[in-house]
Chain A
């Protein structure tokens, strides 16, 4: 019978303790890898949301805040920007294109983005992927709407569907613009960005539904129909933000300074990529703390393993003595304990990974719909493998103490067996 067989049989004899130790290690590994996975996926999700935009312009405030509300639909703008500022900036010689964005309405919890049809042409995500229509086309008239992939799927909407927008952006509430429904004319393909959970309509549509809403609520007695609205001047007075593309990257900072020192109203221009980096620097502290906490959980798991091994050692003095008496060398005893630790740690890591993927599979739909966080079932990354390697190393290291003790005691016990 080889040492390996012996080790397995010995473990089997202590299966209850072993299973619990294994669970502790597995859970700690799941937590560690889960935190790392969420962190990287969230970062990738953010980084892949927008590309090809040189500057984002909004009302003056925090840069991170502007990035969050304009692109990620997190939070709200404190102020709008004047339509004339938009036109002036769009007309600057270095500006190639400028897409206006108007936020603030919703439909059944999904944000409505008022913009112009050029949005579909200039919006890129995940590097160089353009928006794609799975059905239909971009809106052309004020009362047409384009749905993001999730909106269409979750609400089971199709082309031609009539939808009513609500004032504000909550799940329940709300004053509805029932007098002017929109018609769905296009469905967008999946992008993995907040756009999937958005409804895109024209700026004119947004203006139209707010005719008579100057006070924030409908003016009593004033009922405007779509027909009437179509004949009004639907040029917006204000927009929430604008996305700007430049003719040359070299002009980025000149245009940024021009906008930041804008004379007619306080504006802020940010470089989305640079601001995203600032955001990472901000959340980096929290991320590192989370990772540190899960690291400590792994250490606690390992301490459990160590306790079990040490306690087991006391109970296994006879086992060791018997092994020695049938000719096992001290080195083999050492190997036995170390091998046991290695096997336990490895099994724990394996179980942890299985658990992680199981959890991802189960939680994926919830994370996707509630948080817009897309978790891929990707093989472990190099960094994750590194983390697992570290856990394995720490496991082996913690196995050294009981192994060394067993090695020494087996010598002494071998000489002074008390049966």
Chain B
């Protein structure tokens, strides 16, 4: 039932996305070089972290890799993003491990990317229409304007979530020096908050 609705929405969205691409300013507003938007949600033993920002923050360019060097840079960046652990450190006592990761970007090749994101989505999250729309719109935006974003979602589980009081992103700032500010909004066990993380203040504490 829900699956059907999703399927219908997807078809509709694919149509709408083209028609409405010019209307939706959401993605453009967020495109500021050097600044990444990060959403962090913590509930029970799950931690979801979503990083969304201009590709230039991560790889230094915003077009599909043109030569072997750019290709290598991109591959290395994606590999590190997928690895996750060198980029962020959780309170050790909480014993957190990465469960799943998804990297979305126009840089990762148009056709392959669409199929890829779609499949993985269907595999584990049936209720999420938002990301579909998001992905497709990203594509349209990428075609029309010479901006590209990289969107990473990490899903993490912690064995002892009560001991989780801090996430340190100094690894991320070190690995991707093109990122100088993370605008974070967080839904944490003790409430919601918003903050900016920088290489000098890379920790989110609660």
Contacts and interface: CB of A to CB of B under 8 A. Distances in A.
Interface of A: 51, 54, 92-94, 248-258, 260-261, 263, 266, 271-275, 277-278, 281
B24 A250 contact: no
B195 A277 contact: yes
A361 to B, nearest CB: 33
Contacts of B43: 248-250
A260 B24 CA distance: 9
Contact of A257 (B2, B130, B195): B130
Given A252-B41, A274-B193, A258 B129 contact: yes
Interface in B124-156: 127-131, 133-134, 137
11 contacts: A93-B2, A249-B187, A250-B48, A250-B187, A254-B128, A254-B131, A260-B26, A261-B130, A273-B192, A275-B194, A281-B194
A271 B42 contact: no
Nearest to A93: B127
Interface residues of B, number: 31
Given A249-B42, A249-B43, A263-B20, A255 B130 contact: yes
A277 B194 contact: yes
Interface of B: 2, 13, 16, 20, 23-24, 26, 39, 41-43, 46, 48, 50, 127-131, 133-134, 137, 185-187, 189, 191-195
A15 B2 CA distance: 84
Nearest to A261: B133
Contacts of B130: 254-255, 257-258, 261
Contacts, number: 77
B185 A261 contact: no
A261 B41 contact: no
A238 B128 CA distance: 26
Contact of A274 (B24, B133, B194): B194
A277 B193 contact: yes
Nearest to B195: A277
Find the residue from A256, A258, A266 having the highest chain B CB count within 10 A: A258
B41 A249 contact: yes
Contact of B186 (A93, A248, A254, A274): A274
Given A93-B127, A250-B46, A252-B187, A273 B193 contact: yes
A255 B192 CA distance: 15
B26 A261 contact: yes
Contacts of A261: 24, 26, 130, 133-134, 137
Nearest to B52: A257
Contact of B39 (A94, A253, A273, A275): A253
Contacts of A54: 187, 192
